Structure 1
Amino acid sequence: MDHGKLWSYEKMVTLGLLGMMPLHVMFPNILFDVVMSVLMVMHSHWGIEAVVIDYVRPVIFGDTIPKIAIWMVYGFSIVFLVGLFNLIFNSTGLGNSIRMMWSV
């Protein structure tokens, strides 16, 4: 895998998050919420995956535990995305939820 390209994609996602954060709170709608959710999940997935790959090494833990840890990262990312989509489509939405937290 070309890690240089992945690093570039990670930086683009981070810049996208910086641009989308104020937009989806100022102008809450489903499109901004979905884009923000996908960007958040991608960003957190790559970060947690990097930690697991760096610290749950086969040399220390054997071959099975690192594979289980990576699959747990994928499971966490899927549950995170499904939960955010549930908030968007079955509740007030992500942007409106943040606005409601700030109003408290």
Structure 2
Amino acid sequence: MAAIVRLSSMYRRGITPLFYQSTLLAKPVAVPHKYQEQPHLLTARIHSSQALYAGSDSKAASLHWTAERALSIVLLAMGPVAYYSPGPAIDYSLAAALTLHGHWGLGQVLTDYVHGDTKIKMANAGLFLLSTVTFAGLCYFNYNDVGICKAVALLWSK
């Protein structure tokens, strides 16, 4: 406790200790007067680029994250349902859910690793084309062949 009081008295005089000059991970417990209006004392600094920042009033990222988690849970539930009662409804639901799950996953990979406006536009166009062809191919397979559920069952039976 005495060390905190001692540090706070040094801050009032304008003296900054050496180990508090570059705070990359956390702010010190004893905060100088000019920073006391901040409501948090021990927090990590988060750096983000302005192009990726959606704003504090935007709920799009949170809703997208929630939708991704809900789809993952639905896919987990579809496995046993597809095994015990295969049918066209489950086949087409699996086609849509698997395509959307893959689209969102590859979209996150593109967001992380593709940089530059032109490259991002080309990568997103390729992703939409890939997702469209995947969904159309799965629907074609469901309509003209045995379907996803029975195809997986046939693979497991051998």
TM-score w.r.t. length of structure 1: 0.92
Query: Match of 1:75?
Result: 129
- Structure 2 letter corresponding to 1:25: Y
| Ranges of 4+ aligned residues in structure 1 off by more than 4 Å | none
Larger radius of gyration: 2
Q: Does the 8 Å contact 1:28/1:96 carry over to 2?
A: yes
The whole-number CA distance in structure 2 between the counterparts of 1:43 and 1:27 is 22
SS in 2 for 1:36: helix
Query: Match of 2:149?
Result: 95
What is the percentage of aligned positions where both structures have the same residue?
28
- Structure 2 letter corresponding to 1:84: L
5+ long unaligned stretches in structure 1: none
Query: Match of 2:96?
Result: 38
Query: Match of 1:85?
Result: 139
Greater relative CO, 1 or 2 (CA 8 Å, sep 6+)? 1
Query: CA RMSD for the aligned pairs?
Result: 1.0
The whole-number CA distance in structure 1 between the counterparts of 2:150 and 2:83 is 7
- Structure 2 letter corresponding to 1:74: F
The Cα offsets for residues 15-69 of structure 1, whole Å up to 9 and x where unpaired, read as: 00000012112211000111111111111100001100111011xxxx2121101
The whole-number CA distance in structure 2 between the counterparts of 1:72 and 1:24 is 30
- Give the helix-richer structure, 1 or 2: 1
Matched, 1:24 2:82: yes
Matched, 1:15 2:73: yes
TM-score w.r.t. length of structure 2: 0.61
